[in-house]
Amino acid sequence: MKAIQKKLAEIYPEKDVEIIALSIKNLIGKYQNLVKPSTSQLTHKDIVLIAYGDHVKTDGEMPLQTLAKFATKYLYDHIDSIHILPFYPYSSDDGFSVIDYYQVNPDLGTWQDVEALAKDYKLMFDAVVNHISSQSKWFQGYLNGKEQYENYFIEKSPDTDLSAVVRPRALPLLSKFVDAKGNTRHIWTTFSQDQIDLNYENPKVLLQVLDVLLFYISKGAKLLRLDAIGFLWKVPGTTSIHLPQTHSIIQLVRLVLGQVSKEVTLVTETNVPHQENISYFGDGTNEAQMVYNFTLPPLLAFSLLKEDTKTLQAWAASLSLPSQQTCFFNFTASHDGVGVRPLQGIVPDADIDFLAKTAKKHGGYISYKNNPDGSQSPYELNCNYLDLIAHYDEEDEVRIKKMLLTQGVALCMPGVPGIYFHSLVGSGNYKKGVEATGMKRTINREKLDYEVLCKELEAPNSFRAKLYKQFLNLIDTRKKYQVFNPFGDFKFPKVHKNVFAIERVGETQKILCLFNFSSKTIELDLGETSGENVLTGLNENLKALKLKAWEQKWICLDA
């Protein structure tokens, strides 16, 4: 408890630390009896499917049960972890405006359904704890003057100078609400009027959120995704992002959760420039064990569209980890769009504009953010990842090769790979959904009919089946080789401006993963005589190795 008290002293007045620490001690005692002790570590076999609870549906069955059925039929023995996107009751933003942290959305299923999935898969839960729904009991209690919820939220005068605050959306920072007495309250809302930021200056909020996180562990969560966590602490006159108190709270969370389960992994979600993003590793032992690799998705797309990997190579060569207890969460697509802020400082603004124009050309949309000078700039590309990197008019074979090239990189990068449901089954832009909801992000959030999807995956010549089968080969190959340990050694050798190379090194062997980002055949002399292509089982002549357009080869060599 000394470490917890020391961390609390970095956040709250000294006079309050002891009583807060006592409350935390009681929370730990409450949940220690509910969680079975475990110390299993992440390995090369850990691959995370990212999915909504109702990504696949069938009549007469709870969606979480359908997801479990789909996973048993198509994922078992291939993927061992599932990130179920927010499955709590919500009022907007497809789950990210949570009404009740402790309940399962009855439209999806029950806690029994979640716990059933937890028996077969490691589960990642979303901890949407920067904000809560305006319809939540917490906020409604606040507006009704209930003492329990006093100071749970942040009220500021509209005259307060908040111009320095980083704005992720082109929306007002303060939203107006009328309380039970008829008074107008101006409340801090970073993301939308329905997403009310919590006030962590009130230690009661911290204690309540710690209870939520421990509750999730008791329900089977092995990974906790800390959504939008960079905005947690606010101070007018500052950027109110990545403040020291935010880092201290995450470090505190790690200390507290570690008292209940050594197995839980904290994953920070901060869609910001790379150096800001990796600050959430802390010193390598005290903060997030895993950080979303937000630069990877847009930079892979940019490199493939430009048929040039020089920028990708330079960025990758700069990657380092503060300890062997930390790693990246490597993904290309998710429920959100492709964020372009992580490219700032890596490519010129003109190249970000190129990506935005390409997304539009390929049937997507652009979301913008407000800048301090009053201008707007692209924040996110709202486009299915397959359609972003490969125009829908291109031949199926080319589209599949391009998609698998990017997924292969994510599987070989140091860290744990995350695969979005629609990437695995070969979906495209869902424009009808955008028209129906008016939300740009719906373009990559289509809900599929279980029976229809199964038929397509089992039709040998369908686009979905061809991509899915080849994707599984990449996944299964990764799982065979310990060199892909998330915390293992890695290098990024330069071999050609059009070819991205990742070298993963183990005790007795190494695998050189080569990815041709161009539409031309590339011939390489790698200095070695020969090696096995572990994707095909064929021996390759490394003195004259040929990579066809968009081709990847993973070559096994002696260490």
Enzyme catalytic residues: 227
Q: How far is Cα 354 from Cα 361, in angstroms, rounded to an integer?
A: 10
**Strands 509-516 and 290-292, sheet pairing:** unpaired
What residues does 414 pair with on adjacent strands?
Answer: none
Q: How far is Cα 51 from Cα 427, in angstroms, rounded to an integer?
A: 13
Distances in Å between the Cα of 58 and the Cα atoms of 22, 107, 121, 402, 495 are 48, 13, 22, 31, 49
Single-letter amino acid code for the residue at 216: Y
Task: Give the CA angle between residues 345, 351, 354 to the nearest 5°.
Answer: 150
Task: Give the CA angle between residues 509, 510, 513 to the nearest 5°.
Answer: 150
Provide CB contacts within 8 A for 70, sequence distance 6+.
56, 450, 453
Where would I find the H helices in 33-176? 63-74, 111-120, 137-143
Q: Which of 271, 331, 258 is nearest to 49 (CA)?
A: 331
Spatial contact of 253 and 266, defined as CB atoms under 8 Å apart: yes
Spatial contact of 493 and 503, defined as CB atoms under 8 Å apart: yes
Q: How far is Cα 126 from Cα 340, in angstroms, rounded to an integer?
A: 22
Q: How far is Cα 204 from Cα 387, in angstroms, rounded to an integer?
A: 46
Q: How far is Cα 240 from Cα 230, in angstroms, rounded to an integer?
A: 8
Cα radius of gyration (the chain): 24
Cβ atoms within 10 Å of 425's Cβ, excluding its own: 21
Q: How far is Cα 441 from Cα 365, in angstroms, rounded to an integer?
A: 9
